[in-house]
Structure 1
Amino acid sequence: MASKATNIQDKALGELFYISAGGDIDKNNCAAKQSKDYPYPVYANALVNDGLYGYANYYKIDGNTFTVTGRGDVGHAVARHCMYVPIVRLLVCQPSMDDDVDFFAEQINYARIFIESTGVPQLTAPQLSKIKVKRPSLPEQRKIADLLSAVDDIIAAQEAEVAAWEKRKKGVMQKLFSQEVRFKADDGSDFPDWEEKTLGDICMYERQRSEGANFVGTENMLKDFGGVTFDNSNADGSGTLYHPGDTLMSNIRPYLKKAWLADRKGTCSTDVLVFHPTSVEPGYLYWLIASDAFVRYVMSAAKGSKMPRGDKKHIMEMPLLLPNKDEQRKIDDCLSFLNDVIIKAKNELAKWQELKKGLLQQMFV
């Protein structure tokens, strides 16, 4: 672990950097795609793709700087080593002395600037200029920035690995549920044809009310089938009962894909649907509900614009083709294996993210 920086000066950011806002975009000299005529990137207040908005045939900033988002998700810093055009409320920090912009961008991100606002949060240049930062010597700035950059590279590679496995799993699910790919029985023979069913033929949604621990509300369900957290402060309240092997799905904004295969007994809010398998393997039922096709079907009859809810009767009428239980188990085993790989990759990513957090604490606290 890196040692804490020495000979550090405490400074206001405005003492070290000229800070200005991006301003208006010249739409007549911009394009959506980069070309030899429009070579210079245009950056705006956004977190996706480092705020890339488009390209221009002119530039406003030349040299090593860093930008800070000044509207919406404020306080996100990105070091930029190119000629570019900042627009609207994106704040540009240009060094007035010989300082490393990568080091200070990391420090601003670590500061996690928060602006209280009843509307859209905004961070102004005068506000940013008052933020206190630590300024070690330039050689130490560069060493710290190089170390953090190396860790960032590993984190980015691990994020790409997680995304690649997620994409593989999605592709495998599509091929399996469309029967483009079929498993063979253990003796090498073909499995029987899949049978036409409805969701209500193979499971029921639980209506039984009870009191108990392991309470799950929609806010406790993690998106993209990431699992759940438990709120046992509601343990004395009444909720819908669920058991191990049941699949729970948020019935509010189902397009966020909030679902969980229960591994314990507990209760949940009435906005969480509990699917109890009756003539289907529990794991297969979970993957069926985790499929894009299921989410599209639910949304086709969801009610409400801001907080759409699935229609329970419509959901249970969902038509499907069901393999026999032996093939269900093979499908479950395959997808569960892929899911385990993804969980392992995510855990490795979390370790590197935690390492960086520890490095930042030592360097900037």
Structure 2
Amino acid sequence: KEYKKGLMQQLFPAEGKTTPAFRFPEFQNAGEWKDTTLGEEVYYENGKAHENDINETGKYIVVNSKFISTDGEVVKYTDNPSCLANKGDILMVLSDVPNGRAIAKCFIVDCNNKYTVNQRVCKLTPKKAVALLLYYSINRNPFLLAFDDGIKQTNLKKDDVLNCLFRLPQEPQEQQRIADCLLSVDELISTEIAKLDQLKAHKKGLMQQLFPKLQ
């Protein structure tokens, strides 16, 4: 995770810069990155309330703030999707407690007809930009985190989200190249987390064998 953090600092332009510190060789002469806003890059839709339609055996996953903040560990289901998301849509948490870790956290949809968007979460549908790079660019973006004053609950409004400033490469091919690079790191992180979980489970079982049980 620390490696990914450092890599992103190299792959994205630093504040005040229009090109990143590291650029893939084939894009060395591709020009400066463009200043843009989310309003220019996506279509926006607020999620809908699903609380009265929760069903443990439901077909659709209800993407609420808890689902996003726990990386999908806390899941609710429904058979009545009120705001279906499609593959490539980016779902963002709009509301959180002061200094919370969920505000502006994003989830990118990996398939159709599986997820429905709950209230206090918005659906961002990319217009032309590579969806995965948009996700990496806006997930917990500092522009949006600045709305958290650490005192009262943060509630991002539509205009707050759409006014989010960031930079993108002008060439779609470069956007895809950076997104693929970061995705490969995320896949490596997932593999290492799975190994760590297995090791923890092994240690737990080992300790149960090594220490006597109390009668």
Range into which the TM-score falls when normalised by the shorter chain:
0.7 to 0.9
| Structure 1 residue 217 displacement after superposition | 1.5
User: Which residue matches 2:121?
Assistant: 272
* Contact 2:11–2:22 under 8 Å retained in 1: yes
The yes-or-no answer on 1:313 pairing with 2:156 is no
Matches within 5 A, 1:190-209: 190-207=29-46
- Opposite residue 185 of structure 2, the aligned amino acid is L
* Contact 1:183–1:191 under 8 Å retained in 2: no
Matches within 5 A, 1:123-272: 166-178=1-13, 179-185=20-26, 190-207=29-46, 213-223=60-70, 226-227=71-72, 229-232=74-77, 234-236=78-80, 239-253=82-96, 256-257=101-102, 258-264=105-111, 265=113, 266-272=115-121
Tell me how far apart the structure 2 counterparts of residues 181 and 189 of structure 1 sit (CA, whole Å): 9
Q: 1:350 to 1:301 in 2, by over 3 A?
A: same
| Structure 1 residue 171 displacement after superposition | 1.1
The structure with the largest strand share of the pair is 1
Q: 1:354 to 1:208 in 2, by over 3 A?
A: closer
Q: Secondary structure at the match of 1:221?
A: helix
Q: How many residues align?
A: 191
The structure with the larger Rg is 1
Tell me how far apart the structure 1 counterparts of residues 181 and 118 of structure 2 sit (CA, whole Å): 31
| Structure 1 residue 302 displacement after superposition | 4.4
Tell me how far apart the structure 2 counterparts of residues 192 and 281 of structure 1 sit (CA, whole Å): 18
Deviations 1:30-59 (A, max 9, x none): xxxxxxxxxxxxxxxxxxxxxxxxxxxxxx
Q: Secondary structure at the match of 1:249?
A: strand
* Contact 2:91–2:106 under 8 Å retained in 1: yes
Unaligned runs of 5+ in 2: 14-19, 51-58
The yes-or-no answer on 1:332 pairing with 2:173 is no
* Contact 1:196–1:319 under 8 Å retained in 2: yes
Deviations 1:114-150 (A, max 9, x none): xxxxxxxxxxxxxxxxxxxxxxxxxxxxxxxxxxxxx
Q: How high is the TM-score relative to the length of structure 1?
A: 0.47
Tell me how far apart the structure 2 counterparts of residues 235 and 303 of structure 1 sit (CA, whole Å): 38
Which residue, 188, 195, 198 being the options, matches 1:341? 188
Instruction: Using the TM superposition, name which of 246-255 and 333-342 deviates more.
Output: 246-255
Higher RCO, Cα 8 Å, sep 6+: 2
Tell me how far apart the structure 2 counterparts of residues 182 and 255 of structure 1 sit (CA, whole Å): 33
User: Which residue matches 1:139?
Assistant: none
* Contact 1:301–1:311 under 8 Å retained in 2: no
| Structure 1 residue 173 displacement after superposition | 0.9
* Contact 1:204–1:275 under 8 Å retained in 2: yes
Tell me how far apart the structure 2 counterparts of residues 320 and 220 of structure 1 sit (CA, whole Å): 26
| Structure 1 residue 361 displacement after superposition | 4.1
Q: How high is the TM-score relative to the length of structure 2?
A: 0.76
Unaligned runs of 5+ in 1: 1-165
Tell me how far apart the structure 2 counterparts of residues 361 and 289 of structure 1 sit (CA, whole Å): 45
Q: Secondary structure at the match of 1:206?
A: strand
* Contact 2:47–2:119 under 8 Å retained in 1: no
User: Which residue matches 2:134?
Assistant: 285
State the identity as a percent. Answer: 26
